[in-house]
Structure 1
């Protein structure tokens, strides 16, 4: 960026009042997501990244919801109650600005514009001493777009809409994106825009003529990739934007040292951070404020949301982590679930079909199979047997289970909270534990076993006629009992 760009203030008006009826949705169009952010939030992010001093979002349809989604000290709002065109929307937004700055117009349904492109637009605008610079691109078939008509000098003479274009103008491939960078005169000139047209609307494109009347220079900055200025008016276009954005995000991570085994199937939201030398297997989904440490491996078809993984963590296939923290060198899965509040220290092993919720597992804890650990604190190096559950809910309140260090819990144990197990305690397999277990003690909480001799012989003799055809072994076994 040139020094002038850094010194000259920039304000941004985001036009986001459209109804988006073609979305056929109760959700306002601007709040439909692209890779983890509502479309309008991408425009606000672009404004922030380009160094905007003031950001004003013009809302209309679903204004309460849109404003709630963007609420923050850096964003102000102007409401367009009646949809009277882009010129009218811009005037409402400009009225909230402090003035004496360049003004950039962005659109809430066009999330693909990069900060690199916007910085280049500012450079061109200032270095060429333009009063208004239109962001444009080219399409072999620009049907539906306003065409850029340039004069002999290369400056923009006018923008002609599709329905008003001559056959010669319709053959032009350079089109108007609707993104404009204007000098500080823009709000004053926009107030002069009229609505003497078939739709009786105020069009922002009329600013070109008003600038020309002042002898000011109007130019266009043509970018090579037209997908950067794509908008979404329906679900098909929304899906295409998401595909393009996902490719951009995935390529950014790969160039930063992340391995994606199959980039086409990796879904990574823009808010996710990934360290170098991470490996993502096919079908991985990473959402929200997820942070992946160096050397971690995420197995196929695993889903992580708002989760932090330290270095060298192994997440095996088909695991689901939500709001969890996993310490260095730990491994999770396959088919495991870590819910909100699950905290695993270093070297913890969570195996298949284990669920952990709101629990702290200290270093070296192992829960290899088929366990539920909810609202628990488990000390270092404890072993949780297959089928163990913490019975944490009494129908009204949740209760905690405290397990010390070096505890061994046998298979199919039920720990009825609130309960405390001291260090080095044992729990015999199949036990139901409803009272505290002292340090170093063994808890046995199960009924006395009785073996009833001859029971099977009497049972199968009664059942022989019904099941003998289904159980070929039965007749041979019964004959040996005679």
Structure 2
């Protein structure tokens, strides 16, 4: 039998005093998503509903960021205008959960690596134990300043002691409180209302509820996580990077389960919103960012960087190519060392080769530009061959102009197409031409000076340079 529904409270009102930076730690991006955005998104993935986000300012940057990253989530907001501890922060959710009765997840906004599966497992354990409160615990290699979990002689949780208040024996305890809880609402509210502030900081600690519930005979459960690194918080730059490493491993592991083959899983960078198809092959040092989608059976070779782009099925992106804001069709090939800039569309089976740059252009099915070429603001038809060194001269110093190359055109090497210009279907452009006028269909365009060979010229030039007499006229 499945556990009942669960609400959630995300504590995001902290001042980031320990995080030495120019902005709040909750706003820092991890794999392209903010710290707090990860937490809210994962609550939603675990079917937590409603989710209440407690912030310091209803119109502040945290609210703005979460709304931008999770636009469709039915979130509720609570404000802790004065920082008075975690117990007080949870109480601020009382008005928006006034009619709610049942379990509530409480999670810090700086613990982005807690997986949805872990939230579900914690909820299930809480439900099966009939607990009043369940807290996630773990044994860390470096427990540092985490609060310690105190147990009685039977192994039952009796209290949580904040690090600053622990004696030496308690600090030696390896099991720590990871700051993720499930408690029964509104029973939790009753205990929070009875809390007293700590004399050192004047704050109300949520952890004090544990000992009070135990003293009243309420069942409190400590649920030890298999991987406590999930619940690591972000208070320093070092911890930020540690948590990012945890997230990166989680993301890669999830795609491996879905059938993606990574040749070096620890040497790729996958953004949080990247989508990979089945049987995709990813070589080392690949970076995939933003809203990128990679189709089935596509191969990405070393050093590839793709951002906010869609690559179709059975495509190949060769080494050290960069793709941004582009659409790459099925069975296309890109690179090595090619660049697709925003607005580029490659239709099926198009080929873009080494040292080719394409910007805001559509390349038709089966067309190819394989060497040392720039195509900007161009529309290229089907089965077009663009020779090495070709340039579309799209900018006149004031504005951009389009180039249109119709189906079945052959562009010879080292040609310049001065826009605006159109090359008609089936036409040929001779190598080395500078095309400034439209080329009719099935025509040959030659726009270069006629070749003249001057026999003996080099020998005469050499003799003059050496001071030897030459014949008149030479």
Give TM-score, length-normalised by structure 1. Answer: 0.89
In the alignment, the residues of structure 1 paired with residue 18 and residue 219 of structure 2 have an alpha-carbon distance, to the nearest angstrom, of 37
Offset of residue 137 of structure 1:
0.9
In the alignment, the residues of structure 1 paired with residue 17 and residue 414 of structure 2 have an alpha-carbon distance, to the nearest angstrom, of 55
Offset of residue 361 of structure 1:
1.0
Offset of residue 373 of structure 1:
1.1
In the alignment, the residues of structure 2 paired with residue 16 and residue 210 of structure 1 have an alpha-carbon distance, to the nearest angstrom, of 25
Q: What SS does the corresponding residue of 1:183 show, helix, strand or coil? A: strand
User: Is 1:119 equivalent to 2:120 in the alignment?
Assistant: yes
In the alignment, the residues of structure 2 paired with residue 455 and residue 237 of structure 1 have an alpha-carbon distance, to the nearest angstrom, of 74
Aligned to 1:88: 88
Q: What SS does the corresponding residue of 1:77 show, helix, strand or coil? A: strand
Q: Match for 1:13 among 9, 13, 32?
A: 9
Aligned to 1:251: 253
The Cα RMSD (Å) is: 2.5
Cα deviation 1:446-466 (Å, max 9, x = unaligned): 34445567665576567679x
In the alignment, the residues of structure 2 paired with residue 427 and residue 396 of structure 1 have an alpha-carbon distance, to the nearest angstrom, of 27
Aligned to 2:371: 369
| Preserved CA contact (<8 Å) 1:302 1:317 | yes
- Counterparts of 1:318-467 in structure 2 under 5 Å? 318-449=320-451, 456=458
Offset of residue 169 of structure 1:
2.5
Q: What SS does the corresponding residue of 1:96 show, helix, strand or coil? A: helix
Instruction: Provide structure 2 residue ranges, at least 5 long, that are not aligned to the other structure.
Output: none
| Preserved CA contact (<8 Å) 1:18 1:61 | no
Q: What SS does the corresponding residue of 1:430 show, helix, strand or coil? A: coil
Which one is further off, 357-366 or 85-94? Answer: 85-94
- Counterparts of 1:63-462 in structure 2 under 5 Å? 64-71=60-67, 72-74=71-73, 75-98=75-98, 99-139=100-140, 142-185=143-186, 186-212=188-214, 215-449=217-451, 456=458
User: Is 1:37 equivalent to 2:39 in the alignment?
Assistant: no
Offset of residue 59 of structure 1:
2.5
Task: Pick closer, same or farther for the CA change 1:21–1:426 going to 2, 3 Å.
Answer: farther
| Preserved CA contact (<8 Å) 1:300 1:318 | yes
Q: What SS does the corresponding residue of 1:20 show, helix, strand or coil? A: coil
Which one is further off, 71-80 or 128-137? Answer: 71-80
In the alignment, the residues of structure 2 paired with residue 15 and residue 401 of structure 1 have an alpha-carbon distance, to the nearest angstrom, of 55
Give TM-score, length-normalised by structure 2. Answer: 0.91
Task: Pick closer, same or farther for the CA change 1:61–1:170 going to 2, 3 Å.
Answer: same
Cα deviation 1:229-276 (Å, max 9, x = unaligned): 111222222112222222222222233322212222111123222223
Offset of residue 212 of structure 1:
4.2
Instruction: Provide structure 1 residue ranges, at least 5 long, that are not aligned to the other structure.
Output: 466-474
Q: Size of the alignment, in residue pairs?
A: 464
| Preserved CA contact (<8 Å) 2:377 2:394 | yes
In the alignment, the residues of structure 2 paired with residue 462 and residue 54 of structure 1 have an alpha-carbon distance, to the nearest angstrom, of 92
